[in-house]
């Protein structure tokens, strides 16, 4: 196959561990490989983009990607990289989450083609729900010793209380058996010979290959990619407001775009290799151009553009770019009105607000009332008059005089008016 999956991941810095024989297996035949996704919410966040992109590269290289949603394992919780027990989900929440995650994965992988390497989506709840505890312990548990399971890094840390860990329940201890069984099941039913995941999954992956060897006398392989870190040591995928989600109802396309745009030079050089499908040559050229004029932030812009289009759409990107220029560029009232409510609120996040009744607009709200008497945006009526005389006041980004009246025609998203003094002083009036 012309597109070498392993080489591609290596130059992009997306390869951490790989079992001996994996490359030979991939060179020999079209191979099915899987990655598990956790349905802890009804959307994935950007931490899940790397495994998604790994599966996309895998499919591009002619192999068959299987995305496994952990409907059963999601009920238990994976101890890898965690120092405390996870909250367990009930079936209804889990079903909602599984449906949400499935919908997102379909955006990135081709599940519907007739090709030999069409992607498949599986849910381990489908094969675990009928499994009785007695059968599981007898057929699976006996193949792996407790000594073997205890030797895993993720288990050791929890049991010895490293990194503030507080022990480990039997429930979580069984997790690697469940994940190991997933691999065995896929090996036996889907001829799946490779499991991939983040570097914290190595222990669970090797449990699976061991189970395939002992129970099915077969040969299975494993591969991991490094966990994404930021150069300054802060956690990747989080902003001050929490997780950056792939669902724009949870994280607007504008905030998503801004997250990538605000990457440091060092991070964007790393991220553009991992989160985009630009070629090596394109990336090297871009890095060279960026280094000549770092203040233009060419790397950050291209990174933000590529990832926003991949996760959302060209239209979402165009809106995010337009929204970004509203704070800093010369935009108009019609630009503001073209934003949806969530994006508008994200752009003006943190701007002071006042709430007024919509009745104020029936006769038109005079500028002195809007600036001072009713909102306290400016300190006094005389401050308001002075600012209006100096031509320093804008309503929805357009300059106004003292005789201007705010009416319903000025409302953005049917409820907001943006007041501004000078270039940087904003104030939001919410009419209810």
What are the binding residues for L-tyrosine?
A: 34, 175, 179
> How far apart (Å, rounded) are the C-alpha atoms in residues 80 and 179?
12
What are the binding residues for ATP?
A: 238
Answer yes or no: are the C-beta atoms of 262 and 254 closer than 8 Å. no
337 is written with which tokens?
């009105």
Q: Which residues contact 36 (CB under 8 A, 6 or more apart)?
A: 68, 69, 70, 73, 124, 179, 182, 197
Answer yes or no: are the C-beta atoms of 152 and 203 closer than 8 Å. yes
Q: Which residues contact 157 (CB under 8 A, 6 or more apart)?
A: 83, 163, 165
Count of CB atoms within 10 A of residue 315's CB? 10
> How far apart (Å, rounded) are the C-alpha atoms in residues 69 and 154?
21
**Residues facing 356 on adjacent strands:** 431
111 is written with which tokens?
């599940």
Q: Which long-range contacts (CB under 8 A, 24 or more apart) does 150-158 make?
A: 152/176, 152/203, 152/204, 152/207, 153/202, 153/203, 154/79, 154/80, 154/81, 154/200, 154/203, 154/204, 155/79, 155/203, 157/83, 158/79, 158/82, 158/83
Q: Which residues contact 174 (CB under 8 A, 6 or more apart)?
A: 76
Cα 286 to Cα 204, 230, 321, 382: the distances in Å are 38, 20, 20, 53
**Residues facing 421 on adjacent strands:** 393, 425
Q: Which helix (H) or strand (E) holds 99?
A: helix 91-108
What are the binding residues?
A: 34, 175, 179, 238
């Amino acid at each position: 196959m012309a597109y070498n999956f392993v080489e591609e991941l290596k130059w992009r810095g997306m390869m951490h561990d790989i079992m001996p024989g994996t490359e030979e297996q991939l060179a020999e035949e079209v191979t099915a490989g899987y990655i598990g996704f956790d349905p802890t919410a009804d959307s994935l966040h950007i931490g899940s983009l790397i495994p998604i992109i790994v599966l996309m590269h895998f499919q591009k290289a002619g192999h068959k990607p299987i995305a496994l949603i952990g409907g059963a394992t999601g009920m238990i919780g994976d101890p890898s990289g965690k120092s405390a027990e996870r909250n367990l989900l009930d079936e209804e929440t889990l079903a909602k989450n599984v449906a949400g995650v499935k919908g997102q994965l379909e955006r990135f992988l081709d599940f519907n083609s007739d090709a030999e390497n069409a992607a498949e989506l599986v849910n381990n709840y489908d094969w675990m729900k009928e499994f009785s505890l007695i059968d599981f312990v007898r057929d699976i548990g006996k193949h792996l010793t407790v000594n073997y399971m205890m030797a895993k890094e993720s288990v050791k840390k929890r049991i010895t209380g490293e990194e503030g860990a507080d022990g480990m329940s039997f429930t979580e201890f069984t997790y690697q058996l469940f994940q190991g069984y997933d691999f065995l099941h896929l090996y036996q039913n889907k001829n799946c010979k490779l499991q991939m995941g983040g570097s914290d999954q190595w222990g669970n992956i090797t449990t699976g290959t061991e189970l395939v060897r002992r129970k099915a006398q077969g040969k299975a392989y494993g591969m991991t990619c490094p966990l994404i870190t930021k150069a300054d040591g802060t956690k990747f995928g989080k902003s001050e407001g929490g997780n950056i989600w792939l669902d724009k109802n949870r994280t607007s396309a504008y905030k998503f775009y801004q997250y990538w745009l605000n990457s440091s030079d060092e991070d964007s050089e790393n991220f553009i290799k991992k989160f985009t499908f630009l070629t090596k040559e394109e990336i090297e050229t871009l890095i060279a151009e960026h280094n000549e004029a770092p203040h233009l932030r060419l790397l950050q812009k291209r990174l933000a553009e590529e990832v926003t289009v991949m996760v959302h759409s060209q239209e979402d990107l165009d809106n995010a770019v337009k929204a970004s220029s509203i704070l800093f560029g010369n935009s108009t009232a019609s630009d503001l009105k073209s934003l949806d409510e969530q994006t508008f609120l994200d752009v003006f996040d943190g701007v002071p607000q006042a709430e007024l009744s919509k009745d104020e607009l029936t006769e038109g709200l005079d500028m002195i009332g809007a600036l001072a008497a009713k909102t306290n945006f400016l300190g006094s009526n005389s401050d308001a008059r002075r600012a209006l005389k100096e031509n320093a006041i804008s309503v929805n980004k357009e300059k106004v005089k003292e005789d201007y009246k705010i009416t319903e025609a000025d409302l953005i998203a049917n409820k907001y008016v943006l007041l501004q003094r000078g270039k940087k002083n904003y104030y939001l009036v919410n009419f209810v």
